[in-house]
Amino acid sequence: MKYHPFQRHLRTRFPEVSVSESDNIRSLHLGTDTVQSAMNLDNPPELVLAYSQAMVSCLLFLNQVSHITHIGLGGGSLVRWFNEFFPEIKQLAIEINPQIVSIANAMFNLPDENDNFEIVIADGAEFIRVMQSNTDIILTDAFDGEQIIDELTETEFLTDCYNALTDKGIFVTNLWSADKRYQTFVKRIEEVFNNKVIEVSAARHGNVAVMGLKSLPENISEEQLKKRAQQLANDTSTDFLHSFHAIRSNNQKRKLW
């Protein structure tokens, strides 16, 4: 873990971080009872929360992934999952709150930092500006305990993410469908990513993983996508088939194949 040396400003006041356990599920909270991250103590790599399963559906559209950037670490659910099933992928986690990193390391089975996994304490909206075309996936899941951080929905941030991605890269953000600003956020992503946007509703609780793609996958049929979802589901014990059906039903007006 290291601090970003070029940080212009770093907030020093954050929501209180707390941890709870129920029915063998350990959960992370930020100042409210809302579960921000969860881990099955018997199976730490499992993606317990439905929204995190929706977020990894971006793998349906990428044949090769070398590098992933996480904006927001939380309890490290996505980091653990990728480390378990795709250990060859390099991961960079950017987290603004040092206390979250400490708790994730102590209580949420984060993998040790090494050549394939690094944590940087930084403001994700600022850090992403220094990255240029060198990450395949950006996963944004940063809430203040009640709603997504405003800076991570602005056009400037989305443009910086677009520039940070490789040619076939994908930006993914976790949004709340009941948020009155939801359609505004989606429209901004559409504008930055030239309407190459896919919405994937989670199986529960109203979360939506919204993806912005730098380029649509070539020569992929609906049937091929379904077969890929089935293969990923078999390989990772994760509900990619729900994500496939959500992609098909949520994006009927978009030409995906």
Q: What is the DSSP letter of 88?
A: T
Question: Using CA atoms, how far apart are residues 151 and 139, in angstroms rounded to an integer?
Answer: 15
Which of 42, 112, 115, 141 is flagged as catalytic?
141
Strand 17-22 and strand 2-3: the pairing is unpaired
Helix (H, G, I), strand (E, B) or coil at 218: coil
Torsion angle of C-alpha atoms 252, 253, 256, 257, degrees rounded to 10: 80
Task: Measure Cα distances from 50 to 55, 139, 239, 243 in Å.
Answer: 9, 15, 9, 10
* 136 given a catalytic annotation: no
- Cα distances (Å, whole numbers) of residue 94 to 24, 28, 68, 118, 138: 28, 17, 11, 9, 11
What is the Cα Rg of the chain in Å?
Answer: 17
Yes or no: say if 127 and 46 are a contact pair by the CB < 8 Å rule.
no
Alpha-helix residue ranges (DSSP H) falling in the chain: 50-55, 77-85, 98-107, 124-127, 155-164, 182-192, 222-236, 240-250
Q: Which amino acids are annotated catalytic?
A: 141
